Amino acid sequence: MITIPTECPSCNTSLKLVKDILYCLNDHCPAKWDKKVEGFAKHLKIKGLGPSTIQKLQIQDFHDLYSLSREEISDCLNSEKIADKLYLEVQKSTESGLEELLPAFGIPLVGKSISSKLCAVVDDISGINWDSCHRAGLGPKATQNLINWIQNEFYPNEYNTLPFSFKTKQKSVKEESKGVVCITGKLSSYPNKSAALAVLEKAGYTVKGTVTNAVTILINESGIESSKTINARNKGVKIITNLKKLLKEN
């Protein structure tokens, strides 16, 4: 006869049975964190940070990983050579872009594909919201998981203070050569925004739905002082009132 355990063997927290599966509900459970850090290291390709090393270093938070000095690693692993390599790998991982970071945090349903789609729409983590997720083509469940994680884990756990920029790495050649355009209000030069989008992309521009930090040109043919226009002006973005004139100039 098999006896069902009632406590987590790692942290002694009472287990909860959900659909025939036992769960430890302790967010600070050492076994949970070992798996979280292991997955994080795999996504960011931190060589040498396997299960055994994670246990020896006693990493129980993402902050722990980036606060370890070379000397502390050496003492825990009893090897200066291994410590040097691992320390450099950890420091190298700080160059990771948002595309790589989002899947690394283990957010349910937010994998590489979802992250790539989202990072084609936003410039940094501050741009993630329901609207940007919708424009990126994310489903409601993935969007809800991501928004919940940002609100309930990212900022409360101060992950924003980790040594990452949390900005996207995706930089289009088109963005560098022509510019990034945002359209506000009704157009007079084209029947609709879809038509204008096709022409702009063909001409080598990138079009975004909101005034992000990457936007260099705002198209406002209506003359209405919209929130996008005010935001663009505050950011020093060039405001164009005739799209066809812009295309002729370039």
Q: Which residues of 89-107 are buried (b: 16+ CB within 10 A; e: fewer)?
A: bbeebeebbbbbbbbbbeb
Query: Cα(147)–Cα(250) distance, rounded to whole angstroms?
Result: 39
Output the pLDDT for position 31: 67
Does this model's pTM top 0.75? My answer is no
What pLDDT, on a 0 to 100 scale, did the predictor assign at position 5? 79
Residue 39: per-residue pLDDT: 94
Whole-number pLDDT of residue 175:
43
Encoded amino acid at 170, one letter: Q
Closest CA to 61 of 161, 143, 134: 161
pLDDT at 22: 67
Q: What is the pLDDT of residue 20?
A: 67
Query: How big is the CA angle at 47 (ends 87 and 161), to the nearest 5 degrees?
Result: 55
What residues in the chain have per-residue pLDDT under 50? 171-176
Spatial separation of the C-alpha atoms in residues 28 and 22, rounded to whole Å: 17
